[in-house]
Structure 1
């Protein structure tokens, strides 16, 4: 009895969708359907949606990267209404836009209390109304572990989305990169979510117009975290004072932190050096730090020497990456 159907990256286009739909009609016991990285588009999604609506045991639905347009949002919403126990929903890398997001969120609101992973990354969403609908959909989803709303434009509504996650207790990944403005209100909500979720491992705030004062508050809150593995605050407006707070805080002593991304902020080389040295000296399992591409050869030489000295005393070799990747 087939339980898992994984057809990702198979060049499935709208012409193949009717055949796939016919096959799905006979597989009503499926618990996982993964059709990511194909080319279903709206027509193909509509064709298979009728079959997916009859699979009431579905726990995983991944239709990411399929060029699905907004007109298929009704079909996806119908799937969500008939399958009320989803644990993983990934509709990222499509073109659902604001209207499609709103329709999906309305379908999610009343059910799906077992939802653990929600990914709507990069869907061309650009309205504050969609942000509030998304906040309403995620509210009271206490089992959420992964939330990715990045590369959309929720404007000031980003704070409402984060606020909706305050009921979570098991959140491990929160990705907000390039999804709106992390203003002071959003900073307060992020800090509360961090406090509510001691298991948080990944926090991605790249390109959210995070300012120095907000970064300072977030770094102070994160200093109480003992699970953080990845922190991305690149492409923001964080100045030296907040970065030094990061270096001085107990976050610098966490053995769990493995990746720190601070590139493309207006930081002095002296501050970058201070942060990097602190991390290398105190985070015993740190393997990668990504900092701005350092053209000052003296500072780079100093850091390289520090890495070499530390590696002599460690079983695991540290790797320092000088890049603009974030």
Structure 2
């Protein structure tokens, strides 16, 4: 059920960055709508945004790419792709909602046809409540785009507009058709309510960029602009004037617009030379607080240039340079600039730049005499030794360069007391160089969020183990009370790493969110961890996904929860808990503080009695994800019967391999939703259920959601 799955936020975003940005935008929209409805002050809006960001169901701040909202890891159904059947029912519902005055309209991909186009045009013109219009990948032709952008003229209600992925003025194979973009420019310039606009993935090139930026230049309403995937500074071959015009429009927008605070320029093939065209404007803009330039080709020169910009800029607080191949020299210069005492940057995101090198992997081993010849003829021993020494010298040089880069980051952590979020995920730094950073956590009093995901903290493969970095981190956590969120996913901690870390977690009084997913800790490591966490009174979110945990490990978790744990969010997904693990957890979870529980992909079979206990009237759970487990009619019946007496649960995912009568399961869902008005998201899969029953379920969920 597409509508239901969407309620859970399980539609897969294109990448982590897109999910994080969408979360930020939606939070801003929600806050501003609340402000409009209550007619309160700007201070109330700021408070609403802060409250949204502090929602306990969001394990880490949206500014960190390692942050994943609960239920955001196993998409069901998959994200739209070309050739996927159109969701006719969702399209018809969106048309009806638009005509009936709904505020939020969300069209499915490739939905709009010429038959429905007049209704859409009329709805945009006449719907007095329309605040949110999502047309992502929904408009198949330029003619339709022209009609819709024409209809927008005069609209003074929209707050959020998404026109991404509509090939609007597509550059290939010819120059872009600017008709729709010119109309959009006019609308943006005149509309006083529009806060957030997404025109990403339209490939409109420099000419389209010029139009959009000219429209926003004098706007007093726009706060967020997403220009991702548009080749913003690329024009037809040989047309340097188009590129210069686009750069001028971007610079004017940055310097003259006093309200734009978030600019997304990711995946635009931006080079050092192109960023240099914008450098002067980026240095002086003070209103812009969020800049996303991830997925470009800045390289080391580009990162150095950004460093120079940051040394002078007094407004940017969030900077994302992920996946830019910025290299060791780029990291050195960037860190130097952020170490500047005048920097106001609070979040630095530099994922996937691979500036670290593990010495064990990099240095070639010396010959032992036992190697098998890989070549038919043996290499001359003297030549082989000379080649090995040359490779070793080169590797050592690269290692020293990488070490210098990490040292600069460590120095930045030491002298900068403003930076709160540091995201260095997927950089393969290795245990020796990570020590340089973890040592600084012993004295740092500003960082509150650290994402160290996939950095080979203890090893590069399961079976090996290096203790230096995890020992240093443990020593830091024993004394650091400032750090609130720590992501150690996929660092091969294993049980040995937990043995080292656990005593410090018992002492730590600041950490609230801890992600230890995909670390091969097993039941023995989990037993050590849970024993330590009995003494921890601050942790409220713990992720242990994919850690080779069985029902024996579930018993360790149960003991922790039984001893007064403060955990509110618990992720045990992708472990082999089976039905016995569910039975163990069901016996304790209802009497605890746990509000969100993820047991998806845990091989849980038929355990209806345990599920009834878990969802009984005494349960405090608000979200339960048991997706991608075998689903029987018996389990569905147990859930529906229990939830008739439950007034806390808002969302339940119970989809997977179907075993039973889909229509009967859908009838049980209808019966439940007729009695329970608390549930706003429900997914039993219903792979082959009667369409009429599915429609009734969707309508009841909308009613419960107030839509």
TM category (shorter chain) comes to 0.7 to 0.9
In structure 2, the partner of 1:35 is 264
What's the offset of the Cα at 1:176? Answer: 0.4
What's the offset of the Cα at 1:51? Answer: 1.7
Structure 1 residues 45-81: Cα deviation after superposition (integer angstroms, max 9, x where no partner): 23222321233x4673422424133042232122022
Structure 2 stretches lacking a partner, 5+ long: 1-217, 235-242, 357-401, 459-465, 590-611, 630-707
In structure 1, the partner of 2:307 is 77
1:253 and 1:322 map into 2 onto residues whose CA distance is 30
What's the offset of the Cα at 1:28? Answer: 8.4
Q: Quick one: which of 175, 197, 219 aligns to 2:451?
A: 175
In structure 2, the partner of 1:139 is 414
Aligned residues: 321
In structure 2, the partner of 1:105 is 335
TM-score by length of 2: 0.40
What's the offset of the Cα at 1:170? Answer: 4.0
In structure 2, the partner of 1:288 is 570
2:626 and 2:568 map into 1 onto residues whose CA distance is 12
In structure 2, the partner of 1:244 is 527
Q: Does 1:299 align with 2:581?
A: yes
Structure 1 residues 193-239: Cα deviation after superposition (integer angstroms, max 9, x where no partner): 32443243321111122243332232221223345333222222424
Q: Does 1:52 align with 2:282?
A: yes
1:4–1:33 contact (8 Å) kept in structure 2: no
1:4 and 1:123 map into 2 onto residues whose CA distance is 32
Secondary structure of 2:504 counterpart: helix
Q: Structure 1 residues 301-310 or 211-220, which shifts more?
A: 301-310
1:288–1:319 contact (8 Å) kept in structure 2: no
Q: Does 1:157 align with 2:433?
A: yes
Structure 1 residues 107-149: Cα deviation after superposition (integer angstroms, max 9, x where no partner): 3334345443222122232333322222222222233321111
What's the offset of the Cα at 1:44? Answer: 3.6
Structure 1 residues 237-290: Cα deviation after superposition (integer angstroms, max 9, x where no partner): 4244332122222447647523x22233354x2442123323554445524322
Aligned-residue CA RMSD (Å) = 3.5
1:167 and 1:253 map into 2 onto residues whose CA distance is 21
1:243–1:271 contact (8 Å) kept in structure 2: no
2:536 and 2:336 map into 1 onto residues whose CA distance is 43
2:403–2:433 contact (8 Å) kept in structure 1: yes
Q: Does 1:273 align with 2:554?
A: yes
1:250 and 1:296 map into 2 onto residues whose CA distance is 24
In structure 2, the partner of 1:68 is 297
2:515 and 2:406 map into 1 onto residues whose CA distance is 22
1:89–1:117 contact (8 Å) kept in structure 2: yes
Q: Does 1:261 align with 2:543?
A: yes
2:613 and 2:255 map into 1 onto residues whose CA distance is 62
In structure 2, the partner of 1:198 is 481
2:222 and 2:472 map into 1 onto residues whose CA distance is 37
In structure 2, the partner of 1:215 is 498
TM-score by length of 1: 0.81
1:322 and 1:202 map into 2 onto residues whose CA distance is 26
What's the offset of the Cα at 1:91? Answer: 1.9
2:294–2:320 contact (8 Å) kept in structure 1: no
Call closer, same or farther: CA 1:271–1:146 in 2, change over 3 Å: farther
| Bigger Cα Rg | 2
What's the offset of the Cα at 1:106? Answer: 2.8
1:310 and 1:102 map into 2 onto residues whose CA distance is 52
Call closer, same or farther: CA 1:306–1:297 in 2, change over 3 Å: same
In structure 2, the partner of 1:319 is 624
In structure 2, the partner of 1:124 is 354
1:26 and 1:108 map into 2 onto residues whose CA distance is 22
Structure 1 stretches lacking a partner, 5+ long: none
In structure 1, the partner of 2:225 is 7
Secondary structure of 2:332 counterpart: helix
What's the offset of the Cα at 1:85? Answer: 6.9
2:259 and 2:438 map into 1 onto residues whose CA distance is 32
1:64–1:93 contact (8 Å) kept in structure 2: no
1:145 and 1:272 map into 2 onto residues whose CA distance is 34
Call closer, same or farther: CA 1:96–1:293 in 2, change over 3 Å: same
1:289–1:321 contact (8 Å) kept in structure 2: no
Secondary structure of 1:41 counterpart: coil
